[in-house]
Each structure stands twice: as structure tokens, then as C-alpha cells.
Structure 1
Amino acid sequence: MVSKQEIGALILRIVLGLIFFIHGLDKFQGGISNTVGFFESIGVPGFLAYIVAVIELIGGLLLILGLGTKIVSILFVFIMIGAMFTVKFSAGFLDGFEFDLALLAMSVYVLLANRMAFSLENIFFQSKQGYRKRAEV
């Protein structure tokens, strides 16, 4: 039986993945050169725009599916910390870094959580005996 905590973690993981996926998609659809220009205007090397956009796009999709959740989450943590320190803190909390802080907290939760319910990681990497033990608890 799936617990309320597992359902909550599932919702959080999917929403976090969806938000990052859409942000990554937007960077490419809006013209990645615009994002490169923005990065350069704030003193960040432009090539990092490509890295961030790919992490957001692919990482968001992986998070929705429940694959590589720990790795993706830590990458999201780094992206949010970078965004907050380079741009968002100077705008203050409201209309500044409050959304980024929420995404950071969500990413940390997914990073620290045990294996997530309804994730492909559980299907691919959990032994049948481990699954039986979990089911008995």
C-alpha cells in the first residue's frame, strides 16, 4: 500500500520535473541565443546557457519519469543556487528569489528522500526481494 507521504513525494517530483522541463523547453523555443546573451550580460559565460537548458529539459523529463532522481536533483540544486546568487538576491525576496528558493527546497527534498513511489528507478533497480520486504512493511 502506498502511503500519503509517498503520494505527496510523487506529486512534488512530477511538479518539479514539469517546471524544469518547461523552463528548459522555453529556453530553446525562445531562442537559446537570447539566453546566452542574458548569461553574458550578467557576467556568466554564455556556454553555460546551453548546459543549464539541457539539464532543465532532460532533467525535468527524467524527474517526471523517476530516473536519476538523485543526480538530477543535485544538478537542480546547483542551478537554483547559481540563479539566486547571480540574479535573484539583488531583486529581494518578493519578485526575486522566492520561487527559486521553493524550487531549491523541492530539489533538496527529492535529493534526500528515499526511493520514490511510482518511479522507473524502482522498477529497474529494485530487486524482487527488496520489493517484497518493502511490501511487508
Structure 2
Amino acid sequence: MQHSLRDVTILVARLVVGATFLAHAYQKWVLYGIDNVVASFGKMGLPAVAAWFTALVELFGGLGLILGVLMPVAGTLLAAVMVGALFTAHLSGGFFLSDGGFEYVLVLAAASLALGFSGSRFTLTGLFSGKSAGSREKAVA
């Protein structure tokens, strides 16, 4: 029972954090448009490749967390993008988000990293590798 509850809570966290990154990717690709994102990054002194990298990592990393595919890679890349945002856009604002600070990106970085290495039964990778819920509980018992 304890392992099932753990797997469900990790799944919920992956869905929420992954959906948050997908929403940010949607914002960059659809609402703002990638050209405007590139221009915005340029105003901060960042190259165009940083804007593209960020938008792609948010898209594919968010999907990776939601689906449970390549989770260590997704978690690490998402955390790296958030640490980059911390140092390039939010550090000067102090800690609190209300002041333009870094608390939000710091939490997303930590959550992405933790989820990327959390392991869980409820992943697409686990489904295709044959690690079913019943086989894991038998192995633990």
C-alpha cells in the first residue's frame, strides 16, 4: 500500500510540474511566438539559441515528465533551464516572486530534478518494459 501511494503521489507531482512546463512552452510557441521570445531573450543579452533551447526543453521536458520517458534527462534539462532563468532574469529581484525574484524558478528546478530521479511505476517506460503494478508489489513483498 505504501509503495502504491508513493507512486500515485509522484505521478500527480509529475503531471502538475510537467503541465506547468507545457504551459510555458505553449506560451513561448503559440501565445508570444518564438520570434518574440528570441527578441525578449536578446534584450536580456542572451543568444537566440538560448530562447530556442528553453522553449524546446520546456516542451519536451514537460512531456517527458508527464509520460515518464527519459525522466532523468528531462528533469536535469528542466532544472538547468530554471537555474539559467534564475541567474539571467530573476536573481536581481531577490527571493520573492512578487518582486520578480527567483523562488518560483528555484522550486521548479528542485522539483524537476527530484521527479526526474524519483522512479515510479506509472510511466510509459515502465509500461513498455513490462514492470506492471502487480509484478513490483510481488517483488517488494
- Whole-Å Cα distance in 1 between the matches of residues 4 and 127 of structure 2? 18
- Whole-Å Cα distance in 2 between the matches of residues 111 and 118 of structure 1? 13
Letter of the 1:119 counterpart:
T
Gaps of 5+ in 1: none
Letter of the 2:13 counterpart:
L
Are the aligned partners of 2:65 and 2:116 in contact in 1 as well (CA < 8 Å)?
no
Q: Deviations over 1:57-84 (max 9, x none)?
A: 1221222111111111110011011000
- Whole-Å Cα distance in 1 between the matches of residues 110 and 130 of structure 2? 27
- Kindly indicate whether residue 120 of structure 2 is the aligned counterpart of residue 100 of structure 1: no
Gaps of 5+ in 2: none
Letter of the 1:82 counterpart:
G
Corresponding residue of 1:68: 70
Corresponding residue of 2:23: 22
- Whole-Å Cα distance in 1 between the matches of residues 4 and 109 of structure 2? 24
- Kindly indicate whether residue 60 of structure 2 is the aligned counterpart of residue 55 of structure 1: no
Please give the TM-score of this superposition, normalised by the length of structure 1. Answer: 0.88
Number of aligned residue pairs: 134
Letter of the 1:107 counterpart:
S
Flag as ranges the 4+ runs of structure 1 deviating above 6 A: none
Corresponding residue of 1:6: 7
- Whole-Å Cα distance in 1 between the matches of residues 57 and 63 of structure 2? 10
CA pair 68-4 structure 1, distance change in 2 beyond 3 A: same
CA positional deviation for 1:126: 4.4
Answer 1 or 2: higher relative contact order, Cα 8 Å, separation at least 6. Answer: 1
Quote the RMSD (CA, aligned, Å): 1.9
Corresponding residue of 1:117: 121
CA positional deviation for 1:111: 2.5
